[in-house]
Amino acid sequence: MSSFAQIKQLNKDDSKQLRKEAGLWLRSLREARRLSQRQLASRVDVEYYTFISQIEVGRGRVPTERVEVWAEALGEEVQPFAKRLMSYYDPINYRLVFPESDLRHTNQSNA
C-alpha cells in the first residue's frame, strides 16, 4: 500500500480513537505510579491539571517537545515511551520507521 493510500485510510475517527487509546495508556501509567492528575501536571510543569485530563480522554496529545519530560515524570524509559506515543499519534510514520513493530497495544507495557 502506498503512503498516500495509508494517509487516506487513516481518517479523523481513526485518529480520535488512537488518541483515546493513548490517553488510556497514559492514565494507566499515571495510576500505576499512584499520581493524581495534579501531581503529574506539576511534574511535567503544566499549570492546569485539566490539561492532563484532556490528554487522558483523547482530546489532546503530549506535545512532542515534552515527551522526554513526560517519560521521566511517569518513571518510563524515554525511547520506548516515545516510540509508543508515536504509534498512537503518528501511526503512518511509525509503520514506516518501525515496519517490524506490532501496532496492537493491548497488554503491552512500553514497546
pLDDT in tens, 39-92: 999 999 999 999 999 999 999 999 999 999 999 999 999 999 999 999 999 998
Question: Considering the entire predicted model, what is its pTM?
Answer: 0.81
Distance CA 43, CA 58 (A): 20
Q: Would you list the domain boundaries of the chain? A: 11-97
pLDDT, residue 106, reads: 43
Let me know if domain 11-97 sits in CATH 1.10.260.40: yes
Q: What is the dihedral of CA 45, 64, 58, 90, to 10 degrees?
A: -170
Q: Where are the beta strands (DSSP E) in 1-111?
A: none
